Amino acid sequence: MAAATLLKFLAMQSIISVTNLSKRYASGFEALKRINLDIHRGEIFALLGPNGAGKTTLIGIICGILVPSAGKVTVDSHDIITDYRAARSLIGLVPQELHTDAFESVWATVSFSRGLFNKPKNPAYIEKVLRALSLWDKKDDKIMTLSGGMKRRVLIAKALSHEPQVLFLDEPTAGVDVELRKDMWQVVRDLRDSGVTIILTTHYIEEAEDMADRIGVINKGGIILVEEKAELMRKLGKKQLTLQLQQQLHALPAELSAFKLTIGEDGSTLIYNYDTKAERTGVATLLGELSRAGLRIRDLQTTQSSLEDIFVGLVSDRQ
């Protein structure tokens, strides 16, 4: 097999495989309902869903913190129940809830985390991680003296301490300022470039739009969609063209009846919705017909639906 083909083949392989996974909490609440999901090696996968959808529950089970009620999960072919240690050693987890060892220093807590996975000491690696997360000048500070955003970065450093192949980030940027968020995503991109598989959840959907290779949407304990991001945007993305006319319209001219146009409230704007995936958008023909109908355009703009629009549409359809 040629090297390029082999690389592609490896990339398409799943590193995590979730089969018919269900979770019923002791309260009787069914948080996950027969989930099937494959995470590809080396990808950034964004798991999106409203509050209570089951994201943290799913991550908790894969990371061995919660016990599934039914189904099977493997991490690089290691079953998370029967081969727990091997599976867990491949995973780094940045949990949603902030809980850290308040009295320890940053350096000690991150180094200790590495030790928990029986990895030999590697101060140069820990230094690299702390520097990448802008925590180097805080390395001797006690965690209790750090701000919320810094504590979250300490959690990321801890999760990376044992050089995991898979990194789960459960809302890593909640409470982190814009500038640091950018740095954090750069760290995540660098990790992906070094071969680490990343699974993240975020309520900032533009972050998923920016970062993810694939998107999964979960709602009420069920996966409702898994798609390449580019394909999703292409399939469900809509574009809107708004035309500002020089004159007021009371009704649509007959020449334009073939187009699905709406007249804006002011009477001098026309709104045209078109499909980005259609072979012909009809925009050129529309502009031609407008001039034939004697309508003059003062200004125009187009807007494209974002992942956020798509997400809200998907989730609200299923309420």
Residues making contact with Mg ion (CB under 5 A):
55-56, 96
Q: Which residues contact 211 (CB under 8 A, 6 or more apart)?
A: 44, 46, 185, 188, 189, 200
- Within 140-199, the residues that bind ligand ATP by CB under 6 A are none
Backbone phi, then psi, for 300, in 5-degree steps? -150, 155
* Residue with Cβ nearer ligand ATP (51 or 301): 51
Residue 49 interacting with ligand ATP (CB under 6 A): yes
* Residue with Cβ nearer Mg ion (55 or 114): 55
* Residue with Cβ nearer ligand ATP (53 or 129): 53
Structure tokens of 232?
């999703």
Residues facing 79 on adjacent strands: 74
> Which of 36-44, 49-57, 185-193, 226-234 is the region at the interface with ligand ATP (rule: CB under 6 A)?
49-57
Residues facing 275 on adjacent strands: 238
* Residue with Cβ nearer ligand ATP (58 or 126): 58
166-170 and 14-24 beta bridge pairing:
unpaired
* Residue with Cβ nearer Mg ion (33 or 239): 33
Contact 244, 297 (CB under 8 A): yes
Which residue in the set 18, 43, 45, 55 belongs to the binding site for ligand ATP (CB under 6 A)? Answer: 55
Which residue in the set 52, 115, 123, 195 belongs to the binding site for ligand ATP (CB under 6 A)? Answer: 52
Question: In 3D, which of 43, 44, 81 has the Cα closest to residue 64?
Answer: 81
Q: How far is the CB of 26 from ligand ATP (least distance, A)?
A: 6
Determine the Cα–Cα distance for residues 198 and 160; give it in Å rounded to an integer.
12
Determine the Cα–Cα distance for residues 184 and 204; give it in Å rounded to an integer.
14
Residue 202 interacting with ligand ATP (CB under 6 A): no
Q: 108: helix, coil or strand? A: helix
* Residue with Cβ nearer ligand ATP (51 or 248): 51
111 makes contact, choosing from ligand ATP, Mg ion, none, with CB < 5 to 8 Å by partner type, with: none
Q: How far is the CB of 224 from ligand ATP (least distance, A)?
A: 13
Q: C-alpha 289: how far from its chain's center? A: 42
The C-alpha R_g of the chain, in whole angstroms, comes to 25
Q: Which residue is nearest to Mg ion (CB)?
A: 56
Give all strands (DSSP E) within the chain, no chain letters. 14-24, 30-40, 44-48, 70-75, 78-79, 91-94, 166-170, 197-201, 214-219, 222-228, 238-245, 261-263, 269-275, 297-304
Q: What is the x/- site pattern for ligand ATP, positions 7-46, by CB under 6 A?
A: ------------------x-x-x-x---------------
- Within 257-276, the residues that bind ligand ATP by CB under 6 A are none
Which residue in the set 16, 56, 68, 172 belongs to the binding site for ligand ATP (CB under 6 A)? Answer: 56
* Residue with Cβ nearer ligand ATP (31 or 143): 31
Q: What is the x/- site pattern for ligand ATP, positions 81-100, by CB under 6 A?
A: ---------------x----
Determine the Cα–Cα distance for residues 249 and 294; give it in Å rounded to an integer.
12
* Residue with Cβ nearer ligand ATP (95 or 164): 95
Determine the Cα–Cα distance for residues 189 and 211; give it in Å rounded to an integer.
8
Q: How far is the CB of 64 from ligand ATP (least distance, A)?
A: 15
Enumerate binding residues for ligand ATP (CB under 6 A): 25, 27, 29, 31, 49, 51-57, 96
